[in-house]
């Protein structure tokens, strides 16, 4: 498992909040995102950006917006890696703040996002993370479409780290990392993001809960008001079902190897089965069945459902040529 070697490569500045940003081809959105950071009423503040080889003029937009922000900043340009976790780790390593707040330059921080969290963290050194149990949503044009969307923490703000780790498993998520403030020493302690598997947010949150379970003296808090606006657009990574399946398999195998896939993930797998059968792409079906020993078991159960038989009737086959896919791997 490759993790960042050391996040605190520079001396941490007391009271400074470093807003750590990753971005790729966000030229349409990055100016508004940086302006939302500069508009925060908390100081001292710095911005750290890693651009992952954008080809849409994003860097030029970012550089101009950062200059106009009048905040100290670091802009790291690199060739495209496609590794969001490694990019985030590189940004974290360049940050100088005692506190770290994560975001992406296609999203927006809402007013008081940072100061509302710093009020709690500066009051008590035992508070190592403050997040939000709701977020807003904006469309591609920046218009708010939903002012308050609850996440899986909503209603569970007082839950223990162990309870939230269980919610993380069953729901495959608890909260968005965007707009969440951490003490830098805690992210140092857990080693940043896993760079060798996908699911950067999911993996970091899971390891965070595991760390807090082992350190009950540490505290965290969630505010019910939204802290950031999530921008829904066609480039969002989570829209690819197969990617979701691979991500959850990697995460389950690393952190919950003794447990079967959560029901939610099994539903995604069945959706992918249905997609493959709809277009009779048996090669793609076989590939997903070969991903993990549990896949053939899920497929065997799926073949007993009405949804499968309805598809079979529609495609006029009951014995598809991929029947070999139901056998276990050698």
Same-domain status, 202 and 259: no
Q: Strands of 97-104's sheet, edge to edge? A: 73-78, 45-52, 13-23, 97-104, 181-183, 127-132, 219-223
2 lies in some domain: no
Residue from 50, 51, 52 nearest 82 by CA: 52
Same-domain status, 136 and 175: yes
87-145 per-position pLDDT tens digit: 999 999 999 999 999 999 999 999 999 999 999 999 999 999 999 999 999 998 889 99
Same-domain status, 247 and 233: no
Same-domain status, 43 and 179: yes
- Domain, as residue range, for 270: 240-326
* pLDDT band at residue 8 using 50, 70 and 90 as cut-offs: very low
Res 324: pLDDT? 46
Res 243: pLDDT? 87
190-210 per-position pLDDT tens digit: 999 999 998 889 999 999 999
Q: Tell me which of 17-21, 183-187, 264-268, 318-322 is least confident.
A: 318-322
Total count of domains within the chain: 2
Q: What is the CA radius of gyration of the chain?
A: 21
Q: Identify the domain boundary among 219, 238, 257.
A: 238
106 lies in some domain: yes
Asked if residue 21 lies in contact with residue 84, where contact means CB atoms within 8 angstroms, the answer is no
Q: Identify the domain boundary among 238, 253, 284.
A: 238
Q: What angle do CA 122, 125, 128 make, to 5 degrees?
A: 95
248 lies in some domain: yes
Same-domain status, 302 and 274: yes
Same-domain status, 174 and 317: no
7 lies in some domain: no
Q: Could you tell me if residue 283 is left (phi over 0), alpha (psi between -120 and 50 degrees) or otherwise beta?
A: alpha
Residue from 43, 54, 53, 38 nearest 17 by CA: 43
Q: Identify the domain boundary among 238, 273, 297.
A: 238
CATH for 164: 3.90.550.10
Asked if residue 69 lies in contact with residue 56, where contact means CB atoms within 8 angstroms, the answer is no
Q: Residue 81 class from Cβ within 10 Å (0-12 exposed, 13-18 middle, 19+ buried)?
A: middle
3 lies in some domain: no
72 lies in some domain: yes
Q: Which residue in this structure is represented by tokens 């829209």?
A: 239
Tokens of residue 119, six digits: 């009020």
195 lies in some domain: yes
Same-domain status, 212 and 305: no
Same-domain status, 145 and 288: no
237-276 per-position pLDDT tens digit: 445 888 889 999 999 999 999 999 999 999 999 999 999 9
């Amino acid at each position: 498992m490759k993790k960042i070697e050391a996040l605190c490569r520079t001396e941490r500045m007391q009271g400074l909040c470093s807003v750590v940003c990753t971005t790729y081809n966000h030229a349409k959105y990055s100016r508004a995102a940086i302006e939302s950071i500069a508009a925060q009423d908390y100081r001292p503040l710095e911005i750290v950006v890693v651009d992952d080889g954008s080809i849409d003029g994003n860097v030029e937009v970012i550089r101009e917006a950062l200059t106009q922000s009048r905040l100290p900043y670091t802009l790291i340009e690199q060739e495209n890696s496609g590794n969001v976790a490694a990019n985030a780790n590189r940004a974290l390593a360049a940050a100088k703040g005692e506190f770290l707040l994560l975001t992406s330059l296609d999203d927006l921080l809402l007013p008081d996002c940072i100061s509302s969290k710093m009020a709690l963290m500066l009051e008590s050194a035992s508070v190592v993370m403050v997040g939000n149990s709701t977020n807003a949503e904006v469309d591609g044009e920046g218009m708010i479409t939903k002012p308050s969307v609850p996440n899986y923490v909503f209603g569970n703000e007082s839950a223990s780290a162990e309870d939230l780790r269980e919610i993380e498993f069953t729901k495959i998520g608890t909260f968005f990392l965007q707009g969440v403030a951490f003490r830098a020493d805690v992210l140092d302690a857990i080693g940043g993001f896993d760079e060798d598997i996908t699911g950067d947010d999911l993996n970091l949150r899971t390891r965070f809960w595991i760390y807090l379970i082992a350190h009950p003296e540490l505290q965290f808090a969630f505010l019910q008001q939204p802290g950031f606006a999530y921008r829904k657009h066609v480039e969002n990574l989570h829209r690819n079902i197969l990617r979701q399946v691979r991500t959850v398999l990697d995460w389950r195998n690393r952190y919950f190897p003794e447990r079967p896939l959560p029901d939610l993930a099994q539903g995604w797998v069945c959706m992918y089965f249905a997609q493959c059968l709809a277009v009779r792409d048996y090669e793609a079906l076989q590939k997903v069945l070969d991903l993990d020993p549990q896949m053939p078991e899920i497929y065997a159960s799926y073949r007993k459902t009405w949804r499968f038989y309805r598809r079979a009737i529609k495609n006029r086959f009951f014995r598809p040529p991929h029947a070999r896919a139901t056998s276990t791997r050698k």
